[in-house]
Every structure is written in structure tokens, then in C-alpha cells.
A and B are shown apart, each in its own frame.
Chain A
Amino acid sequence: MEWMVWTTPTTVFFAVIAAMLAGMTAWEVISPTVERKGFLPISTTRGDRLFIGLLSAAYIHLVVVGFTPLSIWLALGASVLWLLVLMRWG
């Protein structure tokens, strides 16, 4: 694994992603998702909303890091907030 040059932040990042996938699977087993339509233009399942949330979070981070002097923690906060909104009402 040495050649993969792990760092603490990236380890945490992938651990969180893995935990999310595991959590979503467990949630799906306990209570299967129902496809529904929220404020997004397409009807989505829970997994779809998570994916949309994560993808937009990546873009939010890129914009904040690349084009604003703001802290990356602000981007993270905004992304988490957006993810929660999306999961609940998307």
C-alpha cells in the first residue's frame, strides 16, 4: 500500500464515503426506498439524491477552492447543508 501514498485527510474522506455506502445499504434493507418527486425536476430514490448531493458537493468545493479566497471548511459546511436539504426535500 506504500505506493498509494495515503494521507490522513484522504483516508478519512474514503472512510466517510465507504461508511455512507454501507449506511445506505443498511437503510435500504431496513426500509426500502420509494421513488418520489421533490423539488428536483426528476423523480429520484434515496440513492439518486445522495449521488446528486455528492456530485454537487464536489463542484461546490472546486468553485470555492479555485475561484474564491474562502476557507474550504465553508465549502464543506455548505455541501453538508445542501446534502441534507436534498435528502429531505429533493
Chain B
Amino acid sequence: MTTAIRAKGAAKTNVDKFLTLLRVLLIGAISVGLLAFIAQQIDPGNAFAKWTHDGQEANRLTGEQFKGLIVSGLSQGAMYGLIALGYSMVYGVLGFINFAHGEVFMVGAFTGFIMSNKFDEAGLWEGGAFIPTVLFTVLIATLIATGLAVLMERVAYRPLRGSPRLIPLITSIGVSFFIQNAVILLFGAGAKSYPPNPDWLQDDWILGIEGVKIVVIIVAAISMAGLWYFVERTKTGKAMRAVAEDKEIASLMGINVNRTIVTTFAVGGAMAGIGGMLWGLLFRSVIATTGFLPGIKAFTAAVVGGVGNLGGAMAGGVALGGAESLAPLTLLEPLGISGVSQLRDAVSFVLLILVLLIKPTGLFGERLSSDDRA
């Protein structure tokens, strides 16, 4: 934020020039890639496409394939968004990034794995009892994730309240490793499979989109709407926002600040728990390190959307999921880069850098409460 102010006022420093160059280069590369993609969609044999593909014609994407990419990006992004909410809320209230939040998501997915397999053995997973069973499983997974998040706050973060915020941040990395290894100790290091979903969930519902992906997107949207209502419309939600902005005055209003912080962790944990369960239904496999990469991606999503802004977290998640899904094939492949799918993580972090370069507060970011307090 300070750099933005300085850039407008004072003369440009070399750093500013470098950043400007970086912005121009990144945007330039994206434009060239996109133009090349459009060109090869229109004519796979155009001169540029032949040049980048060693004299071969490029491959054109069909509409079906394009749709597949979008839907997969959306469902993946919806999960990033659900996890990102927890990062964003805790940052808003306590001003630090809880890196162990990805593990809450993983524990949600693991709980789903254990329960779904137990129900499958009892014959309740497939067939008519699927919906009530899955709802019950979601409920338990959410409760356990919520409990874990609350426990984390009580044991690891509350004793550090008031210390410089780098300290809880580093603690959260430790908590993350602890939970990962505890899960390895309890359940082993190998990948664990969910039982197969009923056929109707795997079938195409509308527009040739797999049912399970529609479910993921809808459940994520409902959860997000519920959270929005909770934060914006209920008394507890208002208290939460008041605590995020000014803890001292919030307590002057009679708000119990500690309890509100616990509520924040609980709600973030619940979102991650739901996300974990959706992950299980979509990919049907979970491993002790499942939380790591989605956690980092969700953190990225929270930053892209503007940390502390809930709508931004969700939008950032969807933007990131979409970019990961689409960018390798629409921006990189037309430039003749091989093995583009391996570069998807690079794509998402370049996106993060780009957003921070252009709008340091994120897409929907605003001045943060910490600026007022300091």
C-alpha cells in the first residue's frame, strides 16, 4: 500500500521501474498466449501454430473439452474458496495467517473417508440411503473439523495472543506439521480411498456435466451464502466484524472477544470441513498431505481476493481454480511449451504475483484494520 502511494507521488525509483517492466512483460506474455490460442482455434494450421509446434498442426480444443475445463476449474475453485474463507476470517480477526488451516481441511476429508467406508461396509453408502448417510457424514466431518480448529486456537494460538504476529504464524507452520504427522501415525502414509459414489451421482445431470461436480459447486455456493448471512446479518456476525476492527472498543460494547475469536475459528473450520468432504466425494482419495497444496492454493486465493474480504476469498478461489484449469492449455500450450500441465502450480503463483503487482491489496481488498490500530 505504501508503495502505491509513493508511486503516485514521488519520482519513480528503480524498483518501481522494474515492477512496471514486470507488469508489462507478464501482461504481454498473457496477451500473446491468448491471441495464439484464438488463432489456433480458428485455424490449427496457421503459420504461428506450425512454428511453435515444430511444423505440426496444433490441436484444436472442442467446445465439450472447453466446457470440461471450465467445470473442473469451477469445482476445484469452489473448494479453494471454501478453504480460503478460513484463512481470510482468521486474518481479519487476528491479523496472522493460520497455515495449519489446510490441515483442518485434510482432517475433514479424512473423517469423511473413515465414515464413508464404515457406512459402505454396512451397505448404507450405495442405494437409497445414500443421501441421508452422506448428509450425516458431512455433519460429522464438519463437527470434527470445527472442533480441531477450536482446539488449535485454544492450545496453540491463544497463549500467544498479543505477541508479534510472526510468532503465531510460525507456530501455525508447526501445528500444520504436527497434524500431518499425527494423521500418518494414526492412519498410515498411504492414499486412502472413498467408496465409489452411486452411479447417479457420476452421471451427467444437465449440459453433460457430472452430477458430483454440480453438487460440489452448489454446496459450496450455499455454504458461502450461509456464511455471508451469518457474518452480515446476525448479532454474532456483527460482533465478529467489530472484533476484527477494534478489539478494545468491541469489548467496551460488552462483546466477549475471546469467545468471538473462537467462533471465528469454528466457522472457518466448518467451511474447511465441508470443503474436505466435497473433496472426498469429487476425488475419492485422501492422504495425510492432502491439505498442503490446496491449503497453499487457498491462501493464494485469499490473497488474490483481498485478505479479510469474504466475497473476495470466494472469488479468488474460483479465479484461481479457473486459471489453473484453463491457463496451461489456453496461454502456454499455444506458445509451443511442452508438458504444460506440469506448470499449473507455476501458473497459479504467477497469477498471485500479477495480482499483487497490479493491486497490492488483492482484487477486493480494502484498508485493513491493522493499519488503523498500529
A, B bound? no
**Chain A residues proximal to chain B, CB less than 8 Å:** none
